[in-house]
Amino acid sequence: MSDRKYRQRGYQDEGKPRGPHGPKPPRPPQERAPGRQLQDERGPKTPNLMGAHEVFRCTRCGNLLAVTVAFEARCSRCGVDLHACIHCVSFDTSVRWECTQHDKLTARVAPKDERNTCTLFAPRTTIERQTGTPAASSGDSASPNSARRAFDDLFK
């Protein structure tokens, strides 16, 4: 009888022979069939992923805005100043003066949602998936029923 309760293989079986013949010897490397390639010479195929683009959104209302921010720019939906700390990459409420680049600042900038002259400002952008296709230039294909119309035209 074995000294172990369970008979499954595990880390304690390292020194013990496996089965009636002992441990298996390592396999020699197999030759590939001539003319058979394991992978395309151009590399692995990439999956068909949705495209991605960089966007800048207002932190107050989520409105999609231009990535380049002018000094006097305002959000077209809620009217908040865009050249403000709340729209900056360095804005973080958990660090000193609520700025990750606080070692370069000489004084705290307040209030955080009003326009300021900070030279360290860079807009906080995110990378989002392009889930829709851009609108086509012709008005017929841009209408929401164009796919339905094309489907119905198949059976006329």
Q: What is the pLDDT of residues 31-75, one digit of tens each?
A: 666 666 666 667 776 677 777 888 888 888 888 888 888 888 888
Query: 10 Å Cβ neighbour count for 82?
Result: 22
Which of 58-67, 100-109, 119-128 is predicted with the least confidence, judged by mean pLDDT?
Answer: 100-109
With beta carbons less than 8 A apart as the criterion, state whether 58 and 123 touch: no
* 107 closest CA partner among 123, 98, 70, 86: 98
Chain-centre distance for alpha carbon 116: 31
Burial class for 105, CB neighbours closer than 10 Å (0-12, 13-18, 19+): middle
Token pair belonging to 124: 């906080």
pLDDT tier at 136, thresholds 50, 70, 90: very low
Find the length of the chain.
Answer: 156
Residue scoring higher pLDDT (113 or 10): 113
Q: Select from 86, 96, 77, 93 the least CA-distant residue to 118.
A: 86
Confidence of residue 137 (pLDDT cuts 50, 70, 90): very low
More confident residue, 87 or 24: 87
- pTM for this predicted structure: 0.49
